[in-house]
Amino acid sequence: MATDYLITIGLVVGLFSIPAMLAAYADNRMPRTAMGAFVLSAAVIAMVIILHPARYSVADLPNVVIRVIATIID
């Protein structure tokens, strides 16, 4: 279950870093923080895939995220 949390955190941080990178490029700034968050997100997702290679597929990711959110709310 801990890997479910890690992959959800990685996906959320990666998702939020993309608009931040686009905003930095639009303002002619270097996206240092957003790029760091994106790299950290990719590292966490890679770590989860290395820990449990057969557990997660792309089709299972929405179910994993919903399960983590339901666990947090419950």
pLDDT in tens, 31-50: 999 999 999 999 999 999 99
What rounded mean pLDDT belongs to the chain? Answer: 92
CA distances from residue 49 to 7, 37, 41 in whole angstroms, order as listed: 9, 18, 12
The total domain count for the chain is 1
Report which secondary-structure segment, H or E, holds 60. Answer: none
Question: What is this structure's pTM?
Answer: 0.86
Structure confidence at residue 18 (pLDDT)? 95
Residues of the chain with pLDDT under 70: none
Give the number of other CB atoms < 10 A from CB of residue 64.
19
DSSP 52: S
Which residues, 6+ apart, have CB-to-CB distance to 33 below 8 Å? 20
Residue 19 belongs to domain spanning: 2-73
Q: Which residues contact 67 (CB under 8 A, 6 or more apart)?
A: 4
